[in-house]
Structure 1
Amino acid sequence: MADDHGGFEAVRENLDGNPMWRLMGYATPYWPRLTAGVLTSFLTRFARLVPPIIVGAAIDRVIRGSGEPGLLTTLGLLPAGTIEGSAARLALLQRLVAIAALAYLIRSITRFASRYLLQSTAQKIQRDLRDDGYDHLQRLSMDFFANHQTGGMMAILNSDINRLESFLNTEFRQFIRVVATVGGISVVLFYYSPKLALIALAPVPFIGVASWLFLSWIEPRYTSIRETVARLNTRLENNLSGAAVIKAFDRYDFERDRVAAQSGAYHDEKVAALRIRRGFFAALRLVTGVVFVVALFVAGSDIIAGRPGALTAGDVAVFFLYLRRLYSPMRRVGKSANRYQLAKSSAERVFGLLAQEPTVTAPDDAHAPEQLDGNVSFESVTFAYDDDPVVRDVSLDVPAGSTVGLAGPTGAGKSTLLKLVPRFHDADEGTVRVDGRDVREYDLQALRDHVAVVEQ
């Protein structure tokens, strides 16, 4: 029975396992494009690591004239030893500029390629999902449409699928960003100072545990929010399509209160989720801020005390430029976890719909005649949409070529009786026959090809 909830609360029961794996399955046909997008995205992130190293080398080798070997020297890109004279410093600066220019060129090209390839792949998956969703929906039996509101179906085909596209478009790139940036920066930080690198990376386990807890707290709330949105959409769709009835019976205040109730429920649930989300992000910022301060104190103390392994001025600049970049994607983990849960809630509805099976099907050995004479008979037929029969114990023979009119008040079952012939519904009791054969023995589409229906 259709209800104010849109009838989609139980659609998730059709699923086994995590629906996000099924979403990833839609990316399989595009794996060459996706692989190229991932590789160029990693190159973009690695190219972004070069400028801070250039700045550090310029401070130590060009400005201060230090002979301290740096990462670029270790990689063989800069000469070792102290740089003497203005001409030598200028030549070194020109080399640094050339390396930086090359890094920015690589970054620009790979950034365009990665974004184009990944975003276009997300668009293709969105298109395939919507096409499959609509095609599957239109092939479901009529009882599905009787038991589910149009507003809920539209929410799945539009907003839920759009949310999945947005997740693929944005969060997949963010995942690459976290892996490449955190991994690359961690390697560089350990090269400069293992002690400071351990301090800088200390929040990582905390962020991992906190993100897991955040997901467990927020998941039921987002599930409830999606259902509330479906109820609100259903209420608005019903009211707007029934505007004439509202006007005729002066139901303005009553219907406004009903919409306000659904809108208020959505507001309350959204605010509750917002409170948890904002608290989580604030905690992440506090933790990363504390670590930044501790790292600054330790690095400064080592330099003042002249301890072995203390950073140079250029190294300090590199370290804290990286530290700032390190915490940005780490804080982004919380937002990605938040959006993942939103996407998972939408995926449950989309793939729950795709897993819905028609209740009216043809048998394996279905009869598929090339033509029918058109003799129709109803034998003690009873049918009910819910618990109360609409058609009760009807027996009727209609010979081929004859014209029969059914008269009765609205809701008497006239249209319903006719819908039993092409098997829009199956009789609960009794038998409907065409040319002496039970309609349930026919191939479904072959039967409907010989039946014309003009809706009232």
Structure 2
Amino acid sequence: MTSLPFTKQHPLLRLLHYAKNYRWQIWTAVTFTIVERVFVIGRFYLIGVAVDVVVDPENSIIAQWGISNIIAQLVVLSLLTLLTRTLESLSEFIYDRLWLNLAHSIQHQLRVDGYNHLQLLELSYFEERSTGTLLSILNDDINQLEKFLAYLAAHILQIMTTIVAVSGSFLFIAPNVAWLAIRVSASQTLLTVGF
């Protein structure tokens, strides 16, 4: 199997190939983005635990840890919520900085490489093309890439993490209900498509 020429590859694959010098920064940003989303989801699970503590304190998850007093359970729940929120905020700050730094670094490198490439071209190349188009590519298109890396990449990862975490926990907690929901969703989708 032969590999496609670089210009025929999917743009995201080309970007990953171009950003190979930033792998450590990319993986660190991805990791903190996923960790932040896990803490966000954890807060919602803590709400469910709080309901259990208020409704049935003797059989709550915290009571299973050996803490039977309702006030002590609520204090533990408050501390867990505070810890979760703190770690969520810290990981959000870290991934935000990492994605922004990565976006600015790649944007700068693309502009430098693009400018260097333009310097090597023959003058006849510029006679056949509009300089405004070339400047638009160097400026606007690279700015769009910077916006994607700085904001959209993290957002896409958060959505994917939420889907996987919520679906996985739903399958773990109530597998019969989860499979029923999947089958109903699939049949509705098939009916919508026309099968």
Letter in 2 for 1:124: S
> Does 1:52 pair with 2:36?
no
> What residue is the counterpart of 2:63 in the other structure?
79
> Does 1:37 pair with 2:18?
no
Determine which of 152, 156, 162 is the counterpart of 2:143: 162
- Aligned pairs for 1:322-337 (under 5 A) are none
> Does 1:97 pair with 2:89?
no
Is there any run of 5+ residues in structure 2 with no aligned partner, and where? Answer: none
Which structure shows the higher strand fraction?
A: 1
CA distance in structure 1 between the aligned counterparts of 2:173 and 2:58, rounded to whole angstroms: 16
Alignment check: 8 A CA contact 1:41 1:173 kept: yes
Alignment check: 8 A CA contact 2:33 2:154 kept: yes
Q: TM-score, normalised by structure 2?
A: 0.83
> Which has the higher relative contact order, 1 or 2, with Cα contacts under 8 A spaced 6 or more apart?
2
Determine which of 196, 212, 218 is the counterpart of 2:177: 196
Q: Specify the SS of the correspondent of 2:63.
A: coil
Determine which of 155, 175, 178 is the counterpart of 2:159: 178
Q: Specify the SS of the correspondent of 2:103.
A: helix
Determine which of 12, 28, 34 is the counterpart of 1:20: 12
Alignment check: 8 A CA contact 1:42 1:180 kept: yes
- Superposed CA offset, 1:104-159 (max 9, x none): 01001111001101121011101101111111012100111000011111111111
Shift in Å at residue 43 of structure 1?
1.0
* Distance verdict in 2 for CA 1:119–1:14, change over 3 Å: closer
- Aligned pairs for 1:397-416 (under 5 A) are none
* Distance verdict in 2 for CA 1:14–1:97, change over 3 Å: closer
Question: Aligned-pair RMSD on alpha carbons?
Answer: 2.9
The number of residues matched between the two structures is: 185
- Aligned pairs for 1:362-441 (under 5 A) are none
Shift in Å at residue 38 of structure 1?
1.4
**Percent identity, aligned pairs only?**
27
Alignment check: 8 A CA contact 2:99 2:151 kept: no
- Superposed CA offset, 1:39-81 (max 9, x none): 11111011111122211111122x2125445xxx3xxxx2329
Shift in Å at residue 196 of structure 1?
3.3
CA distance in structure 2 between the aligned counterparts of 1:117 and 1:14, rounded to whole angstroms: 27
- Superposed CA offset, 1:144-198 (max 9, x none): 1000011111111111111111112222212321232111111221233223333
Is there any run of 5+ residues in structure 1 with no aligned partner, and where? Answer: 1-12, 207-282, 284-456
Larger Rg: 1
CA distance in structure 2 between the aligned counterparts of 1:33 and 1:14, rounded to whole angstroms: 23
